[in-house]
Structure 1
Amino acid sequence: MKTVALVMIVKNEEKHLARCLRSVHKIVDDIVIVDTGSTDGTKSIAYSFGAKVFDFEWANDFSAARNYALMQSTCDWNLVLDADEYIVNDCKSIIRHFIETNERAIGRIKMVNEFIQNGERRYAQSYLSRLLPKGVTYVGKVHEQVDSPFPRQNIDVEVYHDGYVHTNKTERNLDLLLQELQQHPTDDYVLYQVGKQYKLLQQFNMAEKYFEESYRLVPLYASYRHSLVVDYLYTIIANRSFERGLQVIAAEQGRLDDSSDFHFACGLFYMDAIFYHMNQYVHLFPMIEKSFIRCLQIGETDQYDRVRGTGSFLAAYNLGVFYETTGQMERAIHFYEQSAHEGYEKASERLKTLKQ
């Protein structure tokens, strides 16, 4: 029978580590934890779960630390998690079946990232390569990537990550990415990640600059291209670069017609363009309705990385706003009710106001 180890790198993670290890220790055969300089109780928690703990001197390179951790594993397969991530579904048999029936493949788990947007809790989900056969390693100083030609396969392992809510590592990540960009100035993926960090810092002019360059270089087949386009559009909205936005939408609407996140961003783009430049962009008004209706037609799928709700309650709520604004109250209430039924609190609050 093949074996699987949990492989982690940690530093000062006493607040999160036990939760992670509780979620996974009965699934794996071994736990390998590499500590990069903790000064709290991280190591003690690791030992309490029977982990093998190793020290590694931090060198501003996540791949170097991860690869060292992978070298310490003696198992056939390695499941890579971070301390602020934890498994939420019953997936032991799924992982076991995957490692027994595959040799030269990479397992992609569903990662659900919790974040705050406009004061609301949101959840973005993506599939990440985290179940690796022995010998597979990483490249990249930060936002490291699996370095392997093996095919990727999505598996039903769901992991939650709330690190974006509780900690802010953006400036650290940005420093490392800019160092990497000095060595690889035309790396479209690194350019994209730099843009993302500036977007998180709400430095939208800088974000747009790096997204633009990444967009110019990115291959059509790149796995992250969809996320780049969506992030680029949101940055364009923030900067009110509406003419550029129209160019990007025109170029991508055929390729991304099956993406609810793309059409959701388009709907918000049209709303903002009309709000700020009514005379210039009023002809786009019908596109608001079409965009959010298309979101609902697509629904919540795993075709792309996405924010939960863009194919359901968030799109329905925005249709409610559109119809309320245009005086179509029966339609507005219908879509507010649909959104509220799916658990969106803002829709419930709007319905209470309208029915008073």
Structure 2
Amino acid sequence: MLLSLCVIAKNEEKNLPRCIESVRDIVDEIIIVDTGSTDDTVKIAECYGAKVFCYQWNDNFSDAKNFAFLQATGDWILTMDADEEINSSDREKICSLLDNDAIDIYLFHTLSYVGSSPGVDTASNLNIRLIRNHKGYQYTGAIHEQICNCNQEMIDRGKVKIEEITVYHYGYLDVVATEKNKPNRNMKILEILLEAQPRDNFHLFNMGSEYLRLRKYEKALEYYKKAYEDFMPGLAHSPKLLFKLITTLDALQMYEEEMRILNEGLTYYPQFVDLEYLKACLFHKQKKYTLAIKGFKKCLTMESAPLQLRNINEVEGYRSYYALGEIHSELEDYEEAYHYYVETIKSKPSFYMPLHRIAENLMKSGRKIQDTKITLEKFFGKKLNAGAFAKLGEIFFSIGKYDIAFDYFLKACEQMKPNQNIYYNLGMSQFYLKHYQEAYHWFEKVEEGKCYEEAAYKMILCEILSNHTENADRLIQTASNFEYKKKNKIYEAFRNLAADLPYPVVSDNKEESQQYVNIIFMILNDLIKTAAPEIFEKSLQLLNLIDSDEVLLKLAKLYYRHGYYRLAYQEFIRSINIFNRIDKEGLEMMRNSIDLARGGKGCNRYKKVKESGEYVRNN
């Protein structure tokens, strides 16, 4: 039996090699249909011996895929996107499926990485992957295409089978979605479809999902609710609709309605472990600890859901163990928390967050630092390598033990080839220890990679805090060559303010000011840890150089997270009085501040900036 790989591609030079490499040993033919690439996609495909066909894109995925199928000569077609790869351990399983005369269509398990980089966070889907060729199978629908058979009215379900074969998908990563602007492309197609069929359940669901990807939760909810009005449990996308409706309600903190839909969903699909998990998570959020513990323990007793009911991976394993550890940590039952964190690690050795939490809890319970180090080192085995030292450095850095972190990072550095990330981490450890010149030395070693620009800006802070004005000016000038000019402008402003020099307003436009807010608070977050009180107070004047009504709320949260509860409370009050700005997280912090201030750091270190116009320049 011959197997043809079919891929639709446009500007996929970064992804296509990974895709083809993952299956080149098992396919007999590679069909690449290019829809208008301006990069090296076509050249790369030809280097792999692919048959490349140009296709005029017409906003219809089915047409493009069906065109690819027409070019395939194999007995079977393996359909993939360019930003996917087959799990290496599953490749050979595919070959064994081709001799099964009883099956025409196979669905595989797709794990889509989400967030900033491939890791633990994934979304789960079922997708058609193997299709018997020359039997009339083709796709229909402009987007989120469905399989049909032009020779018969209905596909024989007996000829369709689900296989536990994993395909990794990289297209939902933040950077990829931003680069390709996928949601806007998809929404343009869906708008046309909904104009023709405004009540189509599937199109409504997909439009809601595009808004969800954009984090426009109100709009997502609008479409999901319309789709849910005609809910039919038997439809393939219905479990996914339920799941996404629930997560949208959760994002909007509409907890009563979320619980109602959760309970309804479990009547439709009793095996839907994800819903049991989300229900327990909701109880946890509401501090209904007994119900939450019961819910997570129930998840641990349930079998893995069928693939068609799977969205969050391993909720019946490490995720529920970790949630139980978190609850017991909040209850200050550190012994029980430790038990569940250990179970989490046993269930998912590559998930390191439990080690961070164990370190926190050991310190909270008064354990000596040497004992804490010994306990954590045991998790990495008898002989610690560079990777273990680096991870231990990250753990101690995360709990503010920067001297211990530095020692571990240094040990990792001694065992590794030059490593830009380790240099940066060594610099950050020294920076937070207020050893500015030692930090500068390590940051200077970062010469490339994702940390390069951040290291350059940290060098500027080191020189400003060391009162090395001339070198700070030189570094700011060098940083002016970086692509994001707004960041440079804020560092230049801070250099002037620290030296008691005037600096003009950066922006008096509210929309433009939003682009500066996060930059300013990244600097403030560093300075509240490292700078002398008088320098930190000067840095607060950065907030007067933009026009934003959220600065007091963000400042209050900054104080709260660093333990300055009285100051946090004062800024929450000012945010309400001056800008009428507060949110649910702020209200919770505000309530807690009153009690925490009695035992917290109070106002002794950082005084509130005088109210002679500060923060209210444009009010």
TM > 0.5 between the two?
Answer: yes
**Of the candidates 158, 167, 170, which is equivalent to residue 176 of structure 2?**
167
Give the distance between the partners of 1:24 and 1:312, measured in 2 at CA: 30
CA contact (8 A) 2:259 2:279 kept: no
Tell me the alpha carbon deviations over residues 59-109 of structure 1, each in whole angstroms, 9 at most, x when there is no partner: 111111111111111222111001110112344543233222236521111
1:281 maps to none
Amino acid at match of 1:294: K
Structure 1, unmatched stretches of 5+, are 276-283
Give the distance between the partners of 1:178 and 1:294, measured in 2 at CA: 42
1:279 maps to none
1:192 maps to 205
Shift of 1:252: 2.0
Give the distance between the partners of 1:8 and 1:311, measured in 2 at CA: 34
SS in 1 for 2:82: coil
1:123 maps to 122
CA contact (8 A) 1:110 1:156 kept: yes
Q: Report whether the alignment pairs 1:291 with 2:295.
A: yes
1:306 maps to 311
Amino acid at match of 1:107: Y
1:280 maps to none
SS in 1 for 2:97: helix
1:239 maps to 252
Cα RMSD (Å): 2.2
Rate the CA distance shift 1:324–1:117 in 2: closer, same or farther, 3 A.
farther
Give the distance between the partners of 1:263 and 1:119, measured in 2 at CA: 26
1:203 maps to 216
Give the distance between the partners of 1:352 and 1:257, measured in 2 at CA: 38
Q: Which has the higher contact order (CA 8 A, sep 6+)?
A: 1
Give the distance between the partners of 1:22 and 1:49, measured in 2 at CA: 9
Shift of 1:138: 0.9
Matches within 5 A, 1:264-283: 264-272=277-285, 274=286
**Of the candidates 235, 245, 252, which is equivalent to residue 265 of structure 2?**
252
Rate the CA distance shift 1:117–1:219 in 2: closer, same or farther, 3 A.
farther
Structure showing greater radius of gyration is: 2
Give the distance between the partners of 1:191 and 1:123, measured in 2 at CA: 24
Rate the CA distance shift 1:90–1:331 in 2: closer, same or farther, 3 A.
closer
Give the distance between the partners of 2:361 and 2:35, measured in 1 at CA: 55
Indicate the larger mover: 192-201 or 286-295: 286-295
Shift of 1:145: 1.8
Shift of 1:54: 0.7
Larger strand proportion of the pair: 1
Amino acid at match of 2:316: G
Give the distance between the partners of 1:10 and 1:129, measured in 2 at CA: 18
2:148 maps to 147
Rate the CA distance shift 1:216–1:340 in 2: closer, same or farther, 3 A.
same
Aligned length: 346
Rate the CA distance shift 1:118–1:86 in 2: closer, same or farther, 3 A.
closer
Shift of 1:299: 5.1
Indicate the larger mover: 39-48 or 165-174: 165-174
1:345 maps to 352
Q: Report whether the alignment pairs 1:334 with 2:333.
A: no
Tell me the alpha carbon deviations over residues 182-209 of structure 1, each in whole angstroms, 9 at most, x when there is no partner: 2222221211111111111111111111
- Give the fraction of aligned pairs with identical amino acids, expressed as a percent: 27
Rate the CA distance shift 1:42–1:77 in 2: closer, same or farther, 3 A.
same
Amino acid at match of 2:132: P
Runs of 4+ deviating beyond 6 Å: 117-120
Give the distance between the partners of 1:200 and 1:211, measured in 2 at CA: 13
SS in 2 for 1:254: helix
Give the distance between the partners of 1:10 and 1:243, measured in 2 at CA: 44
Q: Report whether the alignment pairs 1:322 with 2:327.
A: yes
Amino acid at match of 2:167: V
Give the distance between the partners of 1:320 and 1:22, measured in 2 at CA: 40
Give the distance between the partners of 1:141 and 1:217, measured in 2 at CA: 22
Indicate the larger mover: 36-45 or 68-77: 68-77
SS in 2 for 1:127: strand
Give the distance between the partners of 2:164 and 2:293, measured in 1 at CA: 34
1:69 maps to 68
Tell me the alpha carbon deviations over residues 250-283 of structure 1, each in whole angstroms, 9 at most, x when there is no partner: 21223333222111211222333x26xxxxxxxx
Rate the CA distance shift 1:54–1:62 in 2: closer, same or farther, 3 A.
same
SS in 2 for 1:253: helix
CA contact (8 A) 1:260 1:294 kept: no
Give the distance between the partners of 1:108 and 1:36, measured in 2 at CA: 25
Rate the CA distance shift 1:93–1:345 in 2: closer, same or farther, 3 A.
closer
Tell me the alpha carbon deviations over residues 4-40 of structure 1, each in whole angstroms, 9 at most, x when there is no partner: 2001110011111111111112211111111100111
Indicate the larger mover: 14-23 or 100-109: 100-109
CA contact (8 A) 1:105 1:150 kept: no
Rate the CA distance shift 1:65–1:348 in 2: closer, same or farther, 3 A.
same
Indicate the larger mover: 345-354 or 250-259: 250-259
Shift of 1:318: 1.2
Give the distance between the partners of 1:324 and 1:287, measured in 2 at CA: 16
CA contact (8 A) 2:328 2:337 kept: yes
